[in-house]
Amino acid sequence: MARIKLSPPWVEYYRELDCLFEEDPEVTIIFDEEEPEVKLYVNNHSKAYALTELLPVEKEFGNVTLKITVIPPNGTTGISNMKGFNVFRVAFKDNPIVSYIEELETIVMGKVTYVVFENRVAQYFIDNICDIHGVRSTLYQDIAKDIFEDGLYALDTKVFFCTDVPEEW
């Protein structure tokens, strides 16, 4: 029989972040559960700056603060001036889970950015009691909503995360 236990919420946040970028060839994520800290090593300056705009520096989970650090190539830092559509376009460049990113002008809301993910289920290990195998099955759009919620407010932009539809629709 499988041993079921509960992971703390900061571990689940790390696993969601890792799931979102595990197929991206320019991002490597390292997690230190003792600190707790997540480090994103990004092999592209522009993408590192975009992720810095989108991700919080710290995320509070009750009495535990998870540090989130984006490390660009050579550890050099800089200031980004990307906003809205461009920050998502750069952050997800060459990430195969993203179908496309579109910016549309609407009558009611003005410019709106749509980040459209591949039509497939995202799965990652999370040792909790929701699944006997310890696997979370969800959509990439739901993970992105969890991960980027703080960044969206900071960007002051309207962004929707969506899942692509099959071609026969």
Domain boundaries of the chain, sorted by first residue: 9-163
Name which residue leads in pLDDT, 131 or 72: 72
Tell me which residue of 143, 149, 119, 117 sits closest to 19, measured CA to CA.
143
Distances (CA, A) of 10 to 116, 146, 169: 26, 12, 38
Measured distance CA(124)–CA(121) in Å, rounded: 10
**Percent of the residues in the chain that have a pLDDT greater than 90, as a whole number:** 53
Average pLDDT of the chain to the nearest whole number: 86
What integer is the mean pLDDT of 94-105? 94
The region of weakest confidence among 74-88, 97-111, 133-147 is 74-88
Classify 67 in phi/psi space as left (phi over 0), alpha (psi -120 to 50) or beta. Answer: beta
User: Is it the case that residue 32 has pLDDT exceeding 80?
Assistant: yes
- Which pTM was predicted? 0.85
Joined tokens for residue 138: 């969800």
